[in-house]
Amino acid sequence: MQTILKPIEITNDRYRLGYHVAAKSGWINDPNGFCYFKGYYHIFYQHYPFAAEWGPMHWGHARSKDLVHWETLPIALNPGDKEDEDGCFSGSAVVHNGKMYLIYTGHHYYPGDDNPDHFWQNQNLAISEDGIHFEKYENNPIIAQAPEDNTQHFRDPKVWYENGSWYLILGSQGNDNLGRVLIYRSDNLIDWNYLGPVAKSVDLKKEGYMWECPDFFRLGDKQVLLMSPQGIESDGIHFNNENETGYVTGKFSYTDNKFERSNFQELDSGHDFYATQTLLAPDGRRLLFGWMDMWGSKFPEKEDGWSGALTFPRELSLKDDKLYMKPVDELKLLRKEELLKGKSDITGDYPLEFSSKQYEALIELNTKNAAELGFVLTDLNNNKILQFKYSKKNNHVSVVRQGNDGVRETIIRKTDNLRLHILVDTSSVEIFINDGEATFTERIYSEDSLKFNLLSDEEVSATYDIYQLDTNAIEY
């Protein structure tokens, strides 16, 4: 008799987020299928509804008219069919002829083989007329197997339309055990011609053995390849997570499939940022979601019946060959009231007197007289939950959070005014520095409303504006 699984239930909401997309319960990781369809933004995500741990992947689903108030929809894709027996892995979505097309990876283990590294993957299609109910294409798979010079790692299709054709890139690993991205072309989203690799890892230690979740788009006068390499070794202050997400930029020729590109750069310097996906919005903005967690993390919320969330949606821009990220402007729609506004001369620890678990903080610190400054979040027992510091001597920025998972660091341009845009939401902190030149994405865990103190080793002027944000922006 077949066992019918029931979705896991939430047992405690102490860490639940107020305005970040998460599942009703259970596990989520990569954002998928970010698109705009019939008046709604849609975001899907890798999801296992039956436990707060990774399992056979489904596609969870939410939609929004304004990018900030989200309605949870029924699960869009369930695994178990011939083309996706052991998981509906990551992919993307496009709109064509009034329908939404999901293009995703089918995951398959070999029968009787208990080794999780023994698998194969193909690419599949599902179609919807209403953006809620999806039918898998009857002749799946649309790409049956990887090229002969590839390993079993062959996943995460991203599709777009250009110059009268559909294009699809895939994350993969060549037989030389180096990460790479492959490209295909189609006239109808069903029949795909393999064109070859677009780019590949130049060094195992520096660029990794497998490139996941690729995304390829034009921004400004450059082509940007976003991806999440596995296996990059740490290099001083860089690449200190289990896996990384970053980008290369360059010039791409559709005529001969050549991409002259830069070296790999990190996109976010925090502990908890992976597997991005972007959308070209109707108004021309390039928008981004990421998974607001990291492989190898402890996920304290697991014991409460859920695990994982997506970042707040961000807008990308390219300046001097560097990607900047900032929260989408629609964030202002979440503001419920102004909690605190002021200007002060500060030194040492300077408390900002307000109480909230879901807020937006706009901070500007004049750095002329100080060597080090920043802020710290502490619980009611004055334990440091997260500390942010900027050192003017070397333009070094660091974030340390409670626990033994190390410091995260980066270097920014020299500045006399440090502008911080900070989003706090129950168990997460996102820090945007100087209009998005650098960002840190962090999960934090405390049941207290954390105290917010500015820090400076010498007297500096500070301005601050704190807003309470909507605590019920996600409709489950």
| Architecture in CATH of 336-475 | Sandwich (2.60)
Of 345, 347, 397, 402, nearest to 377 by C-alpha is 402
CA atoms within 13 A on the CB side of 135: 7
Catalytic, 30? Answer yes
Buried b (16+ CB within 10 A) or exposed e, 430-448: bbbbbebbbbbbbbbbbee
The one catalytic residue in 30, 84, 293, 304 is 30
Amino acid, single-letter form, for residue 166 = W
Q: 26-327 with 336-475: one CATH topology? A: no
Sign of CA dihedral 277, 300, 72, 470: negative
DSSP-assigned letters across all residues of 242-297: SB--EEEEEEEETTTTEEEE---EES--SSS-EEEEEEE-TTS-EEEEEESS-TT-
Kindly state the tokens that stand for 424.
């706090």
pLDDT in tens, 37-67: 999 999 999 999 999 999 999 999 999 999 9
Residue 2 has pLDDT above 70, yes or no: no
The pLDDT value recorded for residue 1 is 46
Q: What residues does each domain of the chain span? A: 26-327, 336-475
pLDDT in tens, 336-357: 999 999 999 999 999 999 999 9
Other residues' Cβ atoms within 10 Å of the Cβ of residue 42: 26
Quick check: helix, strand or coil at residue 22?
A: coil
pLDDT in tens, 218-228: 999 999 999 99
pLDDT in tens, 371-406: 999 999 999 999 999 999 999 999 999 999 998 789
Kindly state the tokens that stand for 343.
């200007």
Distance CA 126, CA 129 (A): 11
> Helices (H), strands (E): how many in the chain?
1, 33
Chain centroid to Cα 304, Å, comes to 23
pLDDT in tens, 239-261: 999 999 999 999 999 999 999 99
User: For the residues 205-221, what does the mean pLDDT come to?
Assistant: 97
Mean pLDDT of the chain: 97
Distance CA 77, CA 59 (A): 5
The pLDDT value recorded for residue 3 is 66
pLDDT in tens, 289-335: 999 999 999 999 999 999 999 999 999 999 999 999 999 999 999 99
Other residues' Cβ atoms within 10 Å of the Cβ of residue 331: 20
Distance CA 385, CA 311 (A): 19
Kindly state the tokens that stand for 48.
């296992």
**Residue 218 in contact with residue 316, Cβ under 8 Å?**
no
φ and ψ of 261, to 5 deg = -130, 165
Distance CA 345, CA 116 (A): 58
Distance CA 298, CA 343 (A): 39
- Dmax over CA atoms of the chain, in Å, equals 73
Distance CA 468, CA 361 (A): 9
Distance CA 428, CA 158 (A): 28
**Residue 291 in contact with residue 262, Cβ under 8 Å?**
no
Residue 114 has pLDDT above 90, yes or no: no
Of 452, 248, 476, 254, nearest to 339 by C-alpha is 452
C-alpha torsion angle, residues 175, 178, 184, 189 (rounded to 10): 100
**Residue 184 in contact with residue 103, Cβ under 8 Å?**
no
Distance CA 123, CA 106 (A): 6
Residue 284 has pLDDT above 80, yes or no: yes
**Residue 76 in contact with residue 100, Cβ under 8 Å?**
no
CATH H-level superfamily of 26-327: Glycosyl hydrolase domain; family 43 (2.115.10.20)
Q: Look up the pTM and report it.
A: 0.97
The pLDDT value recorded for residue 181 is 98
- Give the contacts of 113 (CB within 8 A, at least 6 positions apart): none
Radius of gyration of the chain (CA): 22
Distances (CA, A) of 455 to 69, 226, 377, 463: 34, 35, 11, 13
Cis peptide before 141 (omega within 30 of 0): yes
Give the bridge partners for 77, in sequence order: 59
Other residues' Cβ atoms within 10 Å of the Cβ of residue 96: 13
C-alpha torsion angle, residues 341, 382, 449, 363 (rounded to 10): 30
